[in-house]
Amino acid sequence: MSGRRVRVLVAKPGLDSHDRGAKIIAAALRDAGFEVIYTGLRQTPEQIVETVIQEDVDVLCLSILSGAHMTLLPRVMELLRKNGVDDVLVIAGGIIPDEDVPKLKEVGIAEVFGPGTMTEEVIGFIKRNIKRQR
């Protein structure tokens, strides 16, 4: 660690407004010592990627419950790649059917957390899988 805390962006793509999970994750990560930025609702993939770059975050948590995950999450990954961002750990959460998970992993989403996930699981996962060394 070179003195800076791990920076996490919690983002909500899609038009849905179910932010209970996103806020709980944001608060739990903050309590766990991460530096957390929460985008607020309804961010386009473009806006999210812009924030990832501007805020120079290490981890991106995407929360979506609208059912549009197969359109929006691959789009976020594509834009990250296009912008040369390949060292940010990206995870997703929300209402995402099991059968969609392999496809999301194929495009580079490291893990998908469904309903009933304990925040500790997410924190542990981030700590074990973070790509950047600070």
Partner 1 sequence: MFDERKMGELSKAREKWERETRSKWLEALPEREENFRVSSGFEVNPVYTPEDVAGLDYLRDLGFPGEYPFTRGIHATMYRSRIWTMRQFSGFGTAEDTNKRFKYLLSEGETGLSVAFDYPTIMGLDSDDPLSMGEVGRCGVAVSTLKDMEMLFDGIPLDKVTTSMTINMPAPILLSMYVAVGEKQGVPMEKLGGTTQNDNLKEFIAQKLCIFPPEAALKLSVDLIEYCTRKMPKWNPISISGYHIREAGATALQELAFTIADGVTYVEATMERGLDVDEFAPRLSFFFASHNDFFEEIAKFRAARKVWAILMKERFNAKKERSMWLRMHVQTSGCTLTAQQPLNNIVRVTIQALAAVLGGAQSLHANSYDEALALPTEEAVRVSLRTQQIIAYESGVCSTVDPLGGSYYVEWLTERLVEETFRYLDRIEKMGGVVEGIKKGFFQREIAESARRYQQEIERGERVVVGVNKYALDEKVKVPILRIDEEVERLQVERLRRVKAERDNGRVEERLAALRRAAERDENLMPYILDAVKVYASIGEITKTLKEVYGEYQELIVF
Write out the residues near partner 1 by the rule CB under 8 A. 14-17, 19-20, 22-24, 26-28, 38, 40-42, 44, 66-68, 70-72, 95, 97-98, 114-116, 118-120
d(CA 110, CA 108): 6
Q: At what angle do helices 45-55 and 69-82 cross, to 10 degrees?
A: 40
At closest approach, how far in Å is the CB of 119 from partner 1? 6
Q: CB of residue 117 vs partner 1: minimum separation in angstroms?
A: 9
Residue with Cβ nearer partner 1 (106 or 115)? 115
Task: Kindly tell me which of 53 and 66 has the beta carbon lying closer to partner 1.
Answer: 66
Least distance CB 89 / partner 1 (angstroms): 21
CA 92 to CA 124: how far, in whole Å?
15
Compute the least distance from the CB of residue 52 to partner 1, in Å. Answer: 17
Other Cβ atoms closer than 10 A to 134: 11
Instruction: Pick the closer one to partner 1 by CB: 25 or 88.
Output: 25
Closest CA to 60 of 25, 31, 95, 84: 25
Nearer to partner 1, 3 or 116 (CB): 116
Question: What is the four-CA torsion angle of 41, 74, 110, 118, rounded to 10 degrees?
Answer: 30
